[in-house]
Amino acid sequence: MMFAAAALALLVALALALARAIGGPTVFDRALAGNSIGTLAMLMLAVIGFLTGRPDFLDLAILYGLLNLVGTIAVLKFFRYGNLGDPGEGGAGR
């Protein structure tokens, strides 16, 4: 019962963050909303694992969190340099 309430709250929060991701005026708004959606999806996976009595979902939440962090940084680097493999305009070591 309490897990269902938490899942409902997370669904509402996900819908609001999705609205910002769709309507965000700049690309940074979209990236920020995407990051928040990733965090909320991790929490959602954890809650669903408890809701259905299967704690294996927590592994999926960990994996999703790792991918979310790397994905956000990769998107930022792509929009800054236009290239993921380029060391950037600051020279080596960036």
Partner 1 sequence: MSALLDVLSWALILAGGAFCIIGALGLVRLREFYARTHAASVIDSAGAGLLLLGLVLQAGWTLAAVKLAMIALLIFFGTPTATHALANAALARGLPLQAPREERPSKR
Residues within the interface to partner 1 (CB under 8 A): 2-3, 5-6, 8-10, 12-17, 19-20, 26, 28-29, 31-33, 35-36, 39-40, 42-43, 46-47, 49-50, 55, 58-59, 61-62, 65-66, 68-69, 72-73, 76, 79-80
CB of 39 to partner 1, least distance (A): 6
3-state secondary structure the chain: CHHHHHHHHHHHHHHHHHHHHHHCCCHHHHHHHHHHHHHHHHHHHHHHHHHCCCCCHHHHHHHHHHHHHHHHHHHHHHHHHCCCCCCCCCCCCC
Nearer to partner 1 by Cβ, of 41 and 92: the residue is: 41
